[in-house]
Each structure stands twice: as structure tokens, then as C-alpha cells.
Copies of this chain bind each other. A is one copy, B any other.
Amino acid sequence: MTDKNYRSLRNRIHEIIFEADTPTGKFFDVFLMISIVASVLVVMLDSVASYREAFGEWFYVLEWFFTILFTIEYVLRIISVQRAKGYIFSFYGMVDLFSILPTYISILLPGSQYFLVIRILRVLRIFRVLKFTQYLIEVDQLRSALASSRRKITVFIFTVVTMTVIMGSLMYVVEGGKNGFTSIPKSIYWAIVTLTTVGYGDISPQTNFGQMLSAVIMIFGYGIIAVPTGIVTVELGKAANKYTTEVCRYCSREGHDKDAVHCKYCGHKLDP
């Protein structure tokens, strides 16, 4: 193979794997998506005792099939990309590596439960496929709204955690160990379960004063859920508006809708 042929081949591979404009590229994306979902399902079903007993060997074969498939894909990605190092140490590069590594390591170190979690991380690869679709703008808007509300959310979580620490300690003293509030950390766990309105019921206040106190926490928690919602809504509103700004060439006013053809103020045609 000449150098030129090799380069053209590399470009072709890059086009198929990293882009979704060609039919082959689209087919590759769909095929990859199905493979990822199937391989995650194998890991999941393999954890069910009755299924492992019945189909354990099939799961083993399938796991190796997907591992080899993803290994080939990983090698092709390294070859076809311009800066291999950049890809390898990127977020998706790491996820790709972690998707195949556990199976190989399991030959040397059999039986480690913890590889299972690493193996399941391959579910994250599905977001890469999303990157090449029309959902890109939506993802972007959501991401930018969350990014701009980052600080407010931090302050909010900070306040919530502080409150649960104080409330938990108070309930530890009020209820005591015999009612399940055996330590401050456990009482804080209860406070979080209550404030977030999850309410398992594995620990619940038994004394009158404890129930009064937790009623206050609940109403409080019910109220402050409004805060992050308000924050994100305001930011999303801004993000949504950002995508509809076009200035009229004649009267220089903005604020037109996406589907506007004419300026709504002066009536001149807008640029396409």
C-alpha cells in the first residue's frame, strides 16, 4: 500500500467513524448504538442469578464478541484520528478504553466484582452517537443553561447540605438510637431522605416532638425545591431566546421569531 492510499484509507475510516454525513457513517452509528445497548444488556442480565445459570456461557461468548468488536473500533479510532494522544486522553477516549479493558484483565485477575461497574460505564459511549444528530442544539442549550446556573446551584446545594447536618444532629438528640437514629451520619442520611421527599421509611421519627420537627423539615424541603427549578427555568429562558436573535438591517431591532420572514417592527424583509 502506498502512503497516499494509506492516507486516503485513514480519511475514509475517519469519515465513517467520526462523522454521520455519509450513508456508511450513518449505518456505522446505528450499528454502534445497537452494539453498545446489547453489550450493556449482557452485563446487566449476567448479574441476574437465574439468567447466569441458564445462559452463562452465552453471556461469556457475547462479552468477548463485543470486547473484540470494541477493540477493533478503538484501534481504528486511534489510527484514523489526527492526534492519537489527544483522543486517548479525552473523556470519550478513556470511556472507550474502559469499555474493553476489564474483559482482558479478567483473564489475569478473575472474579473481581468491581470490573462490572467499569464495564457498565460503556453505556456512556451512547452519548457520542447523540453528538452527531439534530439533538446537538438541544444538548447545547441544556448544557449552557446548567453551566450558567452552576454557581447558584452550588450555593443551593451548600445550603441544603448545611441544613441537613443541623437537622440530622437535632433529630439524633431528639429521637436517639432506639428509634433508628443511631448516629449523626445516619441521622443526616435520614434528613436528606426526608428533605428530598424520597421518604423510604426505613428510619422514621417516633416521638411527638420528632414528628413535629420533621413536619417542619418536609414543608421546608417542599418549599425550597422551588429554588433550583427557578434558577434553571430563568437560564433556560435566556438560552432559548439566544437562538432567535437576528437584527433587522433597516430598523436595527431584534427579538424576531425563528420563523419570521419580515421584521415585525418596520416590515422589511429579514436576511435569510
Binding site for B on A (CB under 8 A): 40, 43-45, 47-49, 113-114, 116-117, 120-121, 123-124, 126-127, 130, 134-135, 138-139, 141-142, 145-146, 151-158, 160-162, 165-166, 169-170, 172-173, 177, 182-186, 188-189, 192-202, 204, 208, 211-212, 215, 218-219, 221-223, 225-238, 240, 255-257, 259-269
Q: Identify the closest chain B residue to A185 (Cβ).
A: B44
Additional pairs, 6, CB under 8 Å, beyond known A138-B151, A142-B152, A142-B231:
A142-B227, A196-B221, A225-B228, A231-B236, A255-B259, A262-B266
Residues of B within 8 A of A139 (CB): 155
Tell me the bound Cα distance from A186 to B114 in angstroms: 18
Contact indicator B197/A197 (Cβ below 8 Å): yes
Contact indicator A264/B266 (Cβ below 8 Å): no
Residues of B within 8 A of A45 (CB): 185
Take A151-B138, A265-B261 as given contacts and tell me if A166 and B123 are in contact as well, using a CB distance cutoff of 8 Å: yes
Residues of B within 8 A of A189 (CB): 211-212, 215
Partner of A264, one of B121, B151, B200, B261: B261
Query: Counting chain B CB atoms within 10 Å of each CB, which of A40, A156, A225, A256 scores highest?
Result: A225
Contact indicator B192/A199 (Cβ below 8 Å): no
Take A228-B223, A229-B232, A232-B229 as given contacts and tell me if A200 and B211 are in contact as well, using a CB distance cutoff of 8 Å: no
Contact indicator B117/A169 (Cβ below 8 Å): yes
Residues of B within 8 A of A227 (CB): 142, 146, 232
Contact indicator A226/B222 (Cβ below 8 Å): no
Tell me the bound Cα distance from A227 to B234 in angstroms: 11
Tell me the bound Cα distance from A146 to B156 in angstroms: 12
Query: Counting chain B CB atoms within 10 Å of each CB, which of A261, A266, A269 scores highest?
Result: A261
Take A162-B126, A218-B196 as given contacts and tell me if A47 and B172 are in contact as well, using a CB distance cutoff of 8 Å: yes
Contact indicator B230/A120 (Cβ below 8 Å): no
